[in-house]
Amino acid sequence: MSSSSSDEFEERLDEVFDEIFEDTFNNIVEAQSIPQSRRAYVERNREGGHVRLWNDYFSADCIFPAHLFRRRFRMNKELFLRIVHGLSEWVPFFQQRRDATGRFGLSPLQICTAAIRMLAYGSAADAVDEYLRLGESTALSCLHNFTDGIIQLFGEEYLRRPTPEDLQRLLDIGEKRGFPGMVGSIDCMHWEWKNFPTALK
């Protein structure tokens, strides 16, 4: 190989390297100069959300009576308040604290209502924003902490295998409601149902 061809090869190699280096450097500089987008803060007036919730369901002269509370929350008001009280007393996430600006955070009523509404209606996390005044990520956090708190506080009492007396009581209720011999869910996924129609398997 002649020295001139070797020199040409080295020059061409240097040119290619310089081009690649310059392109890579420019890409890095360009990526750093793009301003990072920040999450837009939305003032939701969470205090107003709490006041509206309180006036709608929990005040002495509330707008919605007990039968509508039961229909919308899938439980009676006394049970709901027992859950809220237990969670706010024992789980730090449910204790209302001031934020860095000195404003109170979400109330335990708002947090529990958000979680129960999502569970009761199977709704998306951002569906509770307009009424309860909390964002989607906060609603998901409420749901996660709610389920963990319920398991922690009430698991031993309610999340246990049924006793024979419990099963008999459930069978009696099912028979009264037109489902004789059935315990558990209608889809028969979790409990054996002696008379389950095999054609529906």
Q: What is the pLDDT along the chain (201 residues), one digit of tens a residue?
A: 566 677 788 888 888 888 888 888 777 777 666 666 677 777 888 889 999 999 999 999 999 999 999 999 989 999 999 999 999 999 999 999 998 888 898 999 999 999 999 998 888 888 988 889 888 999 999 999 999 999 999 888 888 888 899 889 988 988 898 888 777 655 555 556 566 666 555
pTM across the whole model: 0.64
Pair of tokens at residue 55: 């006036």
Strand partners, 104: 98
CA-atom Rg of the chain in angstroms: 30
* Alpha carbons 142 and 49: distance in angstroms, whole number: 15
* Alpha carbons 28 and 59: distance in angstroms, whole number: 59
* Alpha carbons 121 and 29: distance in angstroms, whole number: 49
> Sign of the C-alpha dihedral, residues 130, 135, 139, 140?
positive
Number of H helices, E strands in the chain: 8, 0
Q: How many CA atoms lie within 13 A of 121 on its CB side?
A: 14
pLDDT computed for residue 80 by the predictor: 95
